[in-house]
Amino acid sequence: MVIFDEELRLLKERVLRIGSLVEAAIHDSVKSLVERNSDLAQKVIEKDHKINALDVEIDEECIRLIALRQPKARDLRFITTAMKITTDLERIGDLAENIAERAIELNDEPQLKPYIDIPRMAEITEEMVRDSLDAFVRGCSKIPYEVIKKDDEVDNLNAQVFNELLFFMIQDPHTVSRATRISYVSKYLERIADHATNIAEMVIYMCEGKIIRHMKKPGE
Amino acid sequence: MAIFDEELNALKEKVLKLCCMVEVAIRDSVHSLVERNSELAKEVIKRDHLINALDVKIDEECVKLIALRQPMARDLRFITTAMKITTDLERMGDLAVNIAERAIELNEEPQLKPYVNIPKIAEITQEMVRDSLDAFVRGCSTLPYEVIKRDDEVDELTVKNFNELVGFMIRDPKIIPIAIKRTYVAKYLERIADHATNIAEMVIYMCKGKMIRHIAPTES
């Protein structure tokens, strides 16, 4: 079983690698908007195929491990969770690409207002992705309940961004097209946070399926 | 292997049942908006837990099948695809809830204009959901490729809907909050279509993994 342990370790490494690619994509897409750097946005779009390729690679590896090693209980649940998590990560990558696309459009127009809440949202969502993946690879030593709480923070910021933009639009209808695009960026970030929450929930499910009788669900 | 065949059939049936529930949720959520029926919208929201419960049940069933029957190649790929597909279906259910929530809000305001684009988008989207699931349970065909093609139609209609509403907003800023909510409903439907596209892509991938040498390269 030493070979299998090594294979599992490599699988974890790959999941972490796709995680850091996705974090960088979120970070750079928002940076390309805030710093009005369309070249950086272009790079995010170009690099998305790497995330897609790694997703397929991890999926293939998981199927291979299940078929060849016939893992039981905990390991099997770990591998099936890895397959589901990477699907979410890949979609976060697509959303970062959408942010980069909107950034390119918005950078062509005069700036409506300085971006304050959007970078904060990006920061929180990056943390959410990192924390849920940490919990996943570290074998449930720290269950990612806080990730789910942070999702509310992102939802609130999204509502705040939206209300502010509404105010701009009502005052000057010519800003509608720009303001709506900014509201989309905020929506994309909110969806990224939802994906991160999904990952956290899957990790919690995996962990509790294993130690369900030892866990108390806080705040329920 | 007769027992295993029976189990696989039961799994297919459960996935189809989940699909039906999701289709009904999409249909009812859009009806609740178009017919201004907030009671129906509340029904959709109330029923969502049934979709969530069936998703978890299918997931458990898949893990059990893999662990107990140790399926190989084609069957294993089928089961892991089922696990991923139900995650997409469950999220479509969440989006139907979001549509129902917006419907309740919109039904309280005067109607801006009759709904034309949204029912059209909903119709195509429901077909996509049904066809992507048909492709999954009926084995490999050209059906999933057609689903992917129709996603462009949905995207185009969403943009058309958006541009029309921006026109309204510029002419009369007072209606901006209502118009924006309507753009959100179209966006939710567009995301449901994206999930159906994801399912179609997973089915193609499942089929190729099985018969990679028999598929013409033009289809890839």
Can you say whether residue B73 is alpha, beta or left, with left for phi > 0 and alpha for psi between -120 and 50 degrees?
A: left
Judging contacts by C-beta atoms under 8 Å, the chain A residues touching residue B70 are 70
Identity of the amino acid at B75 = D
Q: Which domain holds residue A209?
A: 2-214
- The pLDDT of residue B150: 94
Is B166 in Cβ contact with A66 (below 8 Å)?
A: no
- A51 in a domain, yes or no? yes
Can you say whether residue A117 is alpha, beta or left, with left for phi > 0 and alpha for psi between -120 and 50 degrees?
A: alpha
Q: Write down the CATH superfamily of domain B2-219.
A: Phosphate transport system protein phou homolog 2; domain 2 (1.20.58.220)
Of B70, B77, B91, the CB nearest to A63: B77
A53 at interface of B, judged by CB pairs closer than 8 A: no
Count of A-B CB contacts under 8 Å:
62
- The pLDDT of residue B1: 57
CB A13 within 8 A of CB A88: no
3-class secondary structure, B10:
helix
Q: Which residue of A has its CA nearest to B199?
A: A87
- A166 in a domain, yes or no? yes
- The pLDDT of residue A209: 67
- How confident is the model over B151-165, as a mean pLDDT? 90
Is B169 in Cβ contact with A173 (below 8 Å)?
A: yes
Q: What residues contact residue B170 under an 8 Å CB cut-off, 6+ apart?
A: A173, A174, A176
3-class secondary structure, A159:
helix
Q: Which residue of A has its CA nearest to B163?
A: A177
Residue B175: pLDDT over 90:
no
* Residue that has been written with the tokens 């048909």 in this structure: B134
Q: What is the DSSP letter of B110?
A: P
3-class secondary structure, A140:
coil
Residue A7 sits at the vertex; the CA angle it makes with A2 and A11, to the nearest 5 degrees, is 150
Shortest alpha-carbon distance between residue B20 and chain A (Å): 23
Is B84 in Cβ contact with A169 (below 8 Å)?
A: no
Residue B153: pLDDT over 90:
yes
What totals of helices (H) and strands (E) does chain B contain, helices first?
A: 6, 0
Shortest alpha-carbon distance between residue B19 and chain A (Å): 19
d(CA A201, CA B118): 32
- The pLDDT of residue B208: 78
Q: In this prediction, what percent of chain B has a pLDDT beyond 90?
A: 64
Mean of pLDDT over chain A: 88
- A137 in a domain, yes or no? yes
* Residue that has been written with the tokens 């458990």 in this structure: B60
- A153 in a domain, yes or no? yes
Shortest alpha-carbon distance between residue A212 and chain B (Å): 15
3-class secondary structure, B116:
coil
Which parts of chain A register pLDDT below 70?
1, 141, 209-220
When scoring A94, A176, A206 by the number of chain B Cβ atoms within 10 A, the one with the most, hence best to mutate, is A176
Residue pLDDT, tens place only, B47-92: 999 999 999 899 989 988 998 888 888 899 899 999 999 999 999 9
- A73 in a domain, yes or no? yes
Domain count, chain A: 1
Of A63, A72, A162, the CB nearest to B67: A72
- A219 in a domain, yes or no? no
Within 10 Å of residue B67's Cβ, how many Cβ atoms? 16
Count CA atoms closer than 13 A to A56's CA, side-chain side.
Answer: 12
d(CA B210, CA B77): 8
- The pLDDT of residue A214: 35
Residue A185 sits at the vertex; the CA angle it makes with A179 and A190, to the nearest 5 degrees, is 125
- A220 in a domain, yes or no? no
- A90 in a domain, yes or no? yes
What are the residue ranges of helices labelled H in chain B? Answer: 2-34, 38-69, 73-107, 117-137, 143-171, 176-211
Shortest alpha-carbon distance between residue B195 and chain A (Å): 10
B177 at interface of A, judged by CB pairs closer than 8 A: yes
B180 at interface of A, judged by CB pairs closer than 8 A: yes
- The pLDDT of residue B11: 94
Query: If contacts are CB pairs under 8 Å, which of residues 54-73 in chain B contact chain A?
Result: 62-63, 66-67, 70, 72-73
- Find, among B105, B103, B104, the residue nearest to B119 by Cα: B103
Q: Which tokens is B10 given?
A: 């039961």
- Domain-wise residue ranges, chain B: 2-219
CATH code, domain with A79: 1.20.58.220
Phi, psi of B140 (to 5 degrees): -85, 135
- Find, among B77, B80, B161, the residue nearest to B117 by Cα: B161
Residue B112: pLDDT over 90:
no
Q: Which tokens is A202 given?
A: 């899957």
CB B193 within 8 A of CB B125: yes
Segment A162-170 long-range contacts (CB within 8 Å, at least 24 positions apart): A162/A186, A162/B180, A164/A113, A164/A117, A166/B176, A166/B177, A166/B180, A168/A112, A168/A113, A169/B169, A169/B173, A169/B176, A170/B173, A170/B174, A170/B176
